[in-house]
Amino acid sequence: MKSKLFRFVVVLVVLSLTLAACAPKSQTPTPPVGTESPAQGSGPKIVTGNVTYTNTFFTEGVAEPEVILEDQGGFVTRDRKFLIPVASQVIGEITSDFYKSPFTYSLSLPAEPNGTLHDVNHDGKTDTGVMVFAVAYWTNTWGDPYLERRDQGGGGWSTAYASTKVSEDRDTYREIYGGKYLVYAPDDKQQFPSGFGKDKKLFTDDDPIMNLPAGWSVVDLDQSPFTIDRSEKPTIDLYEPESAVLDDFSKLSYADAFDKMIDKFKKEYAWTELKQIDWDAKAKEFRPRFEDAEKSKDSHAYFLALRDFIWSIPDTHVGFDSTPLNQDFTDDTAGGLGFAMRETDDGKFIANFILKGGSADKAGMKWGAEIISMDGKPTAEAVDAAVPWSSPFSNPVVKRLQQLRYAIRFKLDKGQVEVKFKNPAGGEQTAKLPVTNERDSFLFSSFYYGQSDTALPVEYKVLPSGYGYIKINSFFDNDVLTIQIWERAIKYFKDNDIPGVILDLRVNGGGNGWLADQMAAYFFDKETVVGNTAFYNKGSGDFYMDPGDEMSMIPPRADLQYSGPVVVLVGPACASACEFFSYDMTINDRATIVGQYPTEGAGGSVEQFLMPENETIQFTIGRAVDPQGNVHLEGKGVVPTVKVPVTVETLQQQANGEDVVLEAGEKAVGQPKGAGVTPSAPPRIMTQDETQAAINANAKQLEEKAREKYTNDDYLDVNKTFTYTIPLDKSQDLLWAWGWCAKDAATLKDNLAKMDVKFSLDGQSVSLDQFLKLDYPNSGQQCTAYIAGLTDWTGGEHRLVTTVTFKSKLNDGTYDFNPGTQTFNYAVYVKP
């Protein structure tokens, strides 16, 4: 059994987050007298060091790890949107196994770097200034080997795995308080702080100042005053941030480790208030079990106690490595009854899988049978009592689905289960079904049933319907591979004018939240804030959310932005980062969400810590919210806007191999926003003067905005209906027009006399008098057009009809037209 810890991947806390601007003081008093800096040696030329990591997610998804010389212009000016210039990025060499901590690096310094110059002595005079660099670890995902804005997390300066120590206390949030800088002085007339000053902040007015020699220097910020190293090959190690280092209770006794765990949950768990958890009550309930396990030196009892404690917390992101209990899982779920069941929307329990030759089959149970009771209890009661091994759950909908699976799993010594059922078109019957050693029914009801273990992170194709289809299997795979396939798919769909795209995220356990946000950005043309996250602040003892940590989608270049209709398919196996992607696609109603069930409801960031017996625990430390500050995912997930029903009929379709959710997605992607919505009012018909002004302003005709296009030959058919689908994101001025041309004015007059033209708008007739009549020559012919400007479109589905009846045979000078009727149907869908 895959453990909970590794099955549900998290929204990773981006370890190199960027920071918002914090303006330095405007006053510039005379700086304190500094000390002369030593100038032994000619200055550093090659820097080497170690990078130590304990965080188990550190290497996940990383394809191009880099150690670079990082321009610190962002921190010097407290500009959280500062982008490390490409010209300043010097990429080092990783000189040992990246996947084994610690790994080593080597970085050759350029003789003259191309960083940003900063006058940091605050003496009120303008100096050339110095270039300030940190050595920092990054991972490159987009574009060439250099870091662009998305690689840099939006901009700023490194807060993790860098040569600087960065504060996580909210009173000094993101301030550098130690570590080492590489500083380049273009001449020997520059100065640099020799300490933090009274405010304990760097690059502020009260910094004491020291002189710098020309060239490169290593400044040690951990010394007081700061010291300078001019050796040719200095060693600079990178620091793992305090928040990434795993708390280790593994050396403690079971009971003491439990106390530490409870204290950690009590302080740092993100959803205590939301889920109304009483940690003292949990300590009273569970601590005796840990004490007993300790007294008896029973590791198995310890693991069971730990399992039950974890299961008592209603949060999908809370988990543990359940490998030591694999045998318990196997024993508890070994026995099946030869059928699986689902609950329909009207509350019936339907057998949607019958194992051939299994207990249910031998008892005469048929596919679609209603399961009425089990061992004398109503089926609903039996399901309510089931405790899934896949516990715990954030979303009660997902818990219910798992309870349906586990309600019909038993230990083999159970022997038999009395089941009352009713076959389709049959009467009730009761059978004692033997519990047998079969797992087919259990596997069939898994969210992951039929999923390939060899699937790529992103897979795409064009469906027979002509719509594009992308299946996103993970945000926790090779990041570079993920983006390369993703961009290839988007570009293919754009280059081939694919009219709509379906994104399938029904089975996606999550992963890198930043990656998920930036992949969603390919469907937007403007940078868009998606939310923020609050974390526990040890200094204040409260949770704190910094405005500068807002997360945004950063759109790619224009040729990779897809602007067509989008549908997102979701389900209960879409968790964590998958849900953040799905949520992003609901912003500005960008996509239609389709599914039978909501997503997992795991809306936070996680951390791990160590317990006795080499056990790893994971719990939620970040409170994720939407741009308005509302908890938007935890406990409820992303709910489909188009719900596919769960009925006997849809279950039968699925059993026959039909993908009812995908079929609904295909229908929805072709259905513009506003379809089926009755508008509050029709659009306003402009006055004739307003219509003329709209024509002069190059307003579009309805046909020009329509998806459908017709040829001139099509219009020769007098018994044809022309359909136009016109989706509008918002109200705009449009022209409703009909016209006719003939070889000369006399023929035109004769033709029009033999025609009857009528207009209707949202079911109401519109008089021809409300149209502006225009007579004009065109390509040697004489023409008449009737045009009405339309404005103030309300949200919903509008219907416009132009009916042209040819009352008798006519000729326009080129073609003969027999009696008949042409109908022009315009369906204008305005996003509500």
Give the pLDDT confidence of 519-560 residue by residue, as tens digits.
999 999 999 999 999 999 988 899 999 999 999 999 999 999
CA 644/CA 666 separation, integer angstroms: 12
The helix (run of H) or strand (run of E) holding residue 489 is helix 479-495
Residue 135's pLDDT is: 98
- Give the SS3 label for residue 416: strand
| CB 517, CB 586: distance < 8 Å | no
Residues 321 and 602: their CA atoms lie apart, in Å, by 18
Please report, as a single letter, which amino acid is at residue 53.
Y
What is the pLDDT at residue 28? Answer: 32
Residue 729's pLDDT band (cuts 50, 70, 90) = confident
Tell me phi and psi for residue 435, to 5 degrees.
-80, 120
| Tokens describing residue 639 | 């709910």
**H-run or E-run covering 295:** helix 279-295
Percent of the chain with pLDDT over 90: 91
**What is the pLDDT, as a whole number, of residue 238?**
98
The three-class DSSP label of residue 53 is coil
Give residues with Cβ within 8 angstroms of 350, minimum separation 6: 341, 342, 343, 344, 368, 369, 370, 371, 648, 651
What pLDDT shows up at residue 464? 94
3-class secondary-structure state, position 504: strand
* pLDDT, tens digit, 9 for 90 and up, residues 122-167: 999 999 999 999 999 999 999 999 999 999 999 999 999 999 999 9
Summarize the confidence of residues 611-633 as an average pLDDT. 97
Query: 3-state DSSP helix/strand/coil percent for the chain, to nearest 5?
Result: 25, 30, 45
Residue 577 binned pLDDT confidence (cut-offs 50, 70, 90)? very high
Quick check: helix, strand or coil at residue 67? strand
Q: Which of 60-69, 354-363, 665-674 has the lowest mean pLDDT?
A: 665-674
Give residue 455's pLDDT.
Answer: 96
pLDDT at res. 707: 82
| Contact yes or no for 8/509 (Cβ under 8 A) | yes
Buried b (16+ CB within 10 A) or exposed e, 239-265: bbbebbebeebeeeebbebbbbbbebb
Cα–Cα distance for residue pair 463/583, rounded to 1 Å: 25
Q: What is the DSSP letter of 317?
A: T
The continuous run of DSSP H or E covering 664 comes out as helix 660-669
**DSSP code for 397:** H
Lowest mean pLDDT among 5-14, 275-284, 330-339: 5-14
Read off the DSSP letter of residue 715.
Answer: G
In order of 225, 447, 448, 600, the CA distances from 644 in angstroms are: 68, 17, 19, 17
- Give the pLDDT band of residue 21 (cuts 50, 70, 90): very low
Residue 25 in this model has a pLDDT that exceeds 70: no
β-partners of residue 219 are 181, 228
Cα–Cα distance measured from residue 751 to residue 753, given in angstroms and rounded to the nearest whole number: 5
Residue 56 pLDDT grade (very low, low, confident, very high; cuts 50, 70, 90): confident
Per-residue pLDDT, 676: 86
Judge whether residue 4 has pLDDT over 70. Answer: no
For residues 812-823, give the mean pLDDT: 97
Predicted confidence band of residue 31 (pLDDT cuts 50, 70, 90): very low
At 40 the pLDDT is 59
Q: What is the pLDDT of residue 672?
A: 85
Q: Using alpha carbons, select from 664, 289, 304 the residue that is nearest to residue 502.
A: 664
Model pLDDT, residue 14: 34
Residue 95 DSSP class? -
**Helix or strand (DSSP H, E) at 630:** none
* 784 backbone dihedrals φ, ψ, rounded to 5°: -130, 135
% of residues, the chain, pLDDT over 70: 95
- Which residue in 599, 445, 616 sits closest to 509, CA to CA? 599
**184, amino acid identity:** Y
The arithmetic mean of pLDDT across residues 9-16, rounded, is 34
Query: What pLDDT shows up at residue 778?
Result: 94
Q: What is the mean pLDDT of residues 54-81?
A: 96
pLDDT in tens, 370-427: 999 999 999 999 999 999 999 999 999 999 999 999 999 999 999 999 999 999 999 9
User: Alpha carbon 185 to chain centroid distance?
Assistant: 44
Residue 395: phi and psi, rounded to 5, are -105, 120
pTM comes to 0.85
Cis check for the bond before 392: say yes or no (omega within 30 of 0). yes
| Angle separating helix axes 660-669 and 648-655, nearest 10 degrees | 100
Q: Which residues pair with 787 in a beta bridge?
A: 737, 772
The SS3 of residue 518 is helix
What are the angstrom distances between the C-alpha of 428 and each of 171, 358, 537, 754? Answer: 68, 20, 60, 71
- Which pLDDT belongs to residue 674? 86
pLDDT at 235 over 80: yes
Query: In the structure encoding, which two tokens stand for residue 380, read together?
Result: 């609903």
Q: For helices 254-268 and 279-295, what crossing angle results, to 10°?
A: 160
| Cα 93 → chain centroid | 32
Kindly tell me if the per-residue pLDDT of 516 is higher than 70: yes
Phi, psi of 442, deg, nearest 5: -70, -45
pLDDT bracket for residue 461 (50, 70, 90): very high
Average pLDDT of the chain, as a whole number: 93
* 695 Rama sector, left if φ>0, alpha if ψ -120 to 50, beta otherwise: alpha
Least confident of 287-301, 336-350, 567-581, 664-678: 664-678
Q: Are 505 and 472 in contact (CB under 8 A)?
A: yes
Q: What gap in Å lies between CA 499 and CA 493, rounded to an integer?
A: 8
Handedness of CA 76, 78, 80, 82 (dihedral sign): negative
